[in-house]
């Protein structure tokens, strides 16, 4: 199938997991979702990633985000591996890990890249909004663990910009100034939307304090 793109509807599926059968869209409900794949169980980088994800439980919950992992290993393998993650990372994995042994979900989300590895899933991550639209896709090489602080930053940006006429500049983090979108030109509308005022660095680069702060 063709690769998924931003704005596409995240494919729905039913698949076994470490927490039972997952009906994906039903499981997401009205939440944001993060689906991330890892090459295999009992591997060092993946162990640190899933441990970090578990430690960020409260941060994801505050943002109304559900997380779900995936590899082509079986439920039995997941169940054997999770205690290792909990012990070595000092945490408790309480989110589901999809057991995609039949590659069903991997094919839907284009997670098998033959030029990288013909059997294992790549280290991809999807951010999905409550309307089930894909809002972010990042794919890392197997040797590089993901930066979950960056994932949280992107979720903060998406949730902010969905509700205000702003975009977030490079290296932005929650609480920093944002930019007014170029399509907004009416001075009266700008005054109403941004009562804290703004700084026009150039006619198209207008900085304003984060509206929801």
**Residue 44 CA: distances (Å) to CA of 38, 87, 122, 146, 185:** 11, 13, 15, 13, 51
- Residues with catalytic roles: 46
Task: Assess contact for 93 and 67: CB atoms under 8 A.
Answer: no
For residue 92, the tally of other CB atoms under 10 A from its CB is 13
Helix (H) or strand (E) holding 205: strand 205-208
Radius of gyration of the chain (CA): 19
- Distance, in Å, from the CA atom of 141 to the CA atom of 76, rounded to the nearest integer, reads 26
Alpha helix positions (H), the chain:
24-28, 44-55, 57-62, 75-89, 104-108, 148-163, 187-193
């Amino acid at each position: 199938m063709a690769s998924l793109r931003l704005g596409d509807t995240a494919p729905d599926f039913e698949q076994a997991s470490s927490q039972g059968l997952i009906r994906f869209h039903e499981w997401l409900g009205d939440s944001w979702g993060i689906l991330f794949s890892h090459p295999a169980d009992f591997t060092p980088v993946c162990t640190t990633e899933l441990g970090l994800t578990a430690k960020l439980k409260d941060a994801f919950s505050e943002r109304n985000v559900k997380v779900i992992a995936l590899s082509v290993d079986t439920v039995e393998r997941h169940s054997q591996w999770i205690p290792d993650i909990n012990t070595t990372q000092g945490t408790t994995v309480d989110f589901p890990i999809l057991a995609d042994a039949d590659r069903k979900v991997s094919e839907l989300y284009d997670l098998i890249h033959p030029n990288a590895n013909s059997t294992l899933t790549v280290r991809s991550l999807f951010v999905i909004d409550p309307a089930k639209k894909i809002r972010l896709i990042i794919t890392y090489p197997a040797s590089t663990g993901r930066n979950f602080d960056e994932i949280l930053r992107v979720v903060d940006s998406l949730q902010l910009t969905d509700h205000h006429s702003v975009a977030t500049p490079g290296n932005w983090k929650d609480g920093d100034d944002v930019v007014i979108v170029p399509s907004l030109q009416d001075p009266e509308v700008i005054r109403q939307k941004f009562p804290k005022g703004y700084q026009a660095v150039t006619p198209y680069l207008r900085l304003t304090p984060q509206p929801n702060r």
